[in-house]
Amino acid sequence: MCIQIEIIYQAIEFMESQLRSHIMLAQIAERCGYSLFYFIRTFNKVVHQTPYDYLITRRLSEALKMLCETDRRITDIALDFCFETPESFSRAFKRLFGILPSLCHKEEIPESVFPVPPKTLQDLQFINRNDFILPEWVEFEEMSLVGLSTEFTGWDQVKEIQQDGRLRTRLAGNSGGRKTEFFTVRSYTDNQWQHGYLFKGIETEKEMEIVPPITIQRIPSGLYARIFCRETDQQAALNYLLYTWMPRMGCKLKHRFLVEEARENDRSRVNRSIKIPVLMI
């Protein structure tokens, strides 16, 4: 299986280099040393997506970024990414993102619209682990947390461990000496899902005196998509939720934030959960 993952990842890298070229799946299969039938079946097994869908999704995602960042005409962008007509481009764009490409020039993009990044080797390794668990729907009740907030870029485990230590020290008097469960809330300020504000805190059910830099974070109730993962796979788990599972399940993002929870009493490696608020389409 490891060899298949590496070969499919090499195919993905080749596809990424050909997003603006008219390339046939048979050419990609040949580079892998596979027949076309075996390549499609193996790609779908490893990536949880067909190679055609992957290629179209990545072309549309790069087109989305170009629409948002430049003043180029939709017709020219469509031709750049191998769509025969602006009409076929617009249909595919709306099918994937739920809006017409013309709205991107007007900066009317909702939170639920964001480009799909290329698959990484870690993404493929995560979804092909023996302990990989498919996501699930959960109903989440409103929760109030008290804790500390800071800016973040990506998953910086060293910085988060330091923040945990500061938070435990500041909240020691509010826990009554009992073991507390810490929650992490990431609120994203970019559509690349890399930058934003990181809040770590404990649940509170009573009014308490808030002394800065301590703040309160409220998590709304509703339907959430949840996935379990190892601590080292949190970014890959988020990627799978956002870019593979949610589109397949016919739902979209409700708000651009997520809630992480550590299952401290669970001795298994899959001891983290990520929950994202969603809406059914």
Is residue 263 domain-resident? yes
In a domain, 126, yes or no: no
In a domain? residue 24:
yes
For the segment 155-182, what is each residue's pLDDT rounded down to a tens digit? Answer: 776 666 666 666 666 665 555 545 567 8
* Dihedral Cα 56, 59, 61, 65, nearest 10 deg: -160
Instruction: Provide the domain limits for residue 158.
Output: 136-280
From 237, 150, 238, select the one nearest 197 (Cα to Cα): 150
Same domain membership, residue 258 and residue 188 = yes
Q: Is residue 181 situated within a structural domain?
A: yes
* Domain end call among 119, 144, 174: 119
275 and 150 inside one domain: yes
Same domain for 142 and 114 = no
152 and 245 in a single domain? The answer is yes
pLDDT tens profile 49-100? 999 999 999 999 999 999 988 889 999 999 999 999 999 999 999 999 989 9
Same domain, 154 and 107: no
pLDDT at res. 227: 96
Same-domain check for residues 10 and 106: yes
144/224 same-domain check: yes
Domain boundary among 58, 85, 119: 119
Q: Domain count of the chain?
A: 2
Same domain assignment for residues 9 and 106: yes
Q: According to the model, what pLDDT value does residue 159 have?
A: 66
Of the three residues 119, 153, 185, the one that is the final residue of a domain is 119
Residue 124 within any structural domain of the chain? no
104 shares its domain with 160: no
Q: Is residue 131 part of a domain?
A: no
Do both 177 and 107 map to the same domain? no
104 in any annotated domain: yes
Same domain, 14 and 146: no
Q: Is residue 128 part of a domain?
A: no
Give the per-residue pLDDT at 5.
96
Note the pTM of the prediction, 2 decimals: 0.88
| Residue ranges in the chain whose pLDDT is less than 50 | 177
